[in-house]
Amino acid sequence: MRKTKVSVFALAVILSIVCISCKKTDDNSRFVSYKNYTNLAVGKYMIYELDSTITRSFGTSFIVSSNIVKDSVVEEFTDNQGRTSFKVFRYLLDQTHNTWNPSNTFYYTPTDNSLEYIENNQRYIKLVSPITEGKSWYGNVYLDSKIFHDNSLYQSWNFYYKDVAQPQTVGSVDYPNTVTIVQYDSTDNRPFNPFVFSTYDRGYEIWADSIGLVYRDVISWEYQNTLGLSNCKHTFVQNGTPTTVDIDCSTGNCDSIAALAGHTIKCDTVVTAYHYNGFGTKQVLLQHN
């Protein structure tokens, strides 16, 4: 009888181990590496429609310029930390002469757990593993605090995955398996109010399985203003009769006058000066090999 109990107990232990092993196998099968959504190799290229947003002179507004660019992986090398990296040349299409002219150089470093990207000496963490819905990380943690303008904390942008393994249409192309990275989406001061200091930050990217970056939309700007008074009216009682006259409050005497008994001053608040500062970029993949 005792042997039967021992055998039943041993069988239960074996079954538990088997179940745990099956669960571990199932968990491993669901692990999706970020590398599934990249395709880095010498000779690979991506052609994008690129819209760049910059601040107009004197900060009066923004200018958007559109170009066609080609990002070509030209070299595999070892970086100063001993990691395999890839150099990418960006070429700008001269549509008049149909030639590609060098424009910029970027670097990708695919580590075991994340994809690092360097542009203009600024390092970003573009992707991390595993790719699961809602997984988050600080993709701008290495950035300078004032890369676009003075009043946004880019290091605090908390990237996260959305719509994992979902189909997306980008431009005129349908991609059956993509992941969206929501970098940030500001809701400060919306709708826009010209009478208050405002900032706006937005960052989205879409990466397609076995292809790479197919869409990017990042913009960051700030708005500062100087307020003044206009159409000021001074109301008081003169000889028993309420009287209203125009008054110039730019001289700074209106506060003292309004403090007098029986005197009121009403003005319209106006924007006397304003200034925009910021940057934006939007990429849509047109072609790749």
pLDDT digit string, tens, across residues 89-114: 999 999 999 999 999 999 999 999 99
Phi, psi for residue 101 in degrees, rounded to 5: -115, 135
Residue 270 has pLDDT above 80, yes or no: yes
Cα separation, 254 vs 252, in Å, equals 6
pLDDT band of residue 175 (cuts 50, 70, 90) is very high
pLDDT band of residue 199 (cuts 50, 70, 90) is confident
Residue 264 has pLDDT above 90, yes or no: yes
Residue 119 has pLDDT above 60, yes or no: yes
pLDDT band of residue 145 (cuts 50, 70, 90) is low
Residue 82 has pLDDT above 50, yes or no: yes
For 261-271, what is the mean pLDDT? 94
CA 20 vs. chain centroid, Å, equals 41
Residue 25 has pLDDT above 60, yes or no: no
Where do the structural domains in the chain lie, given as residue ranges? Answer: 1-30, 34-222+275-288, 226-274
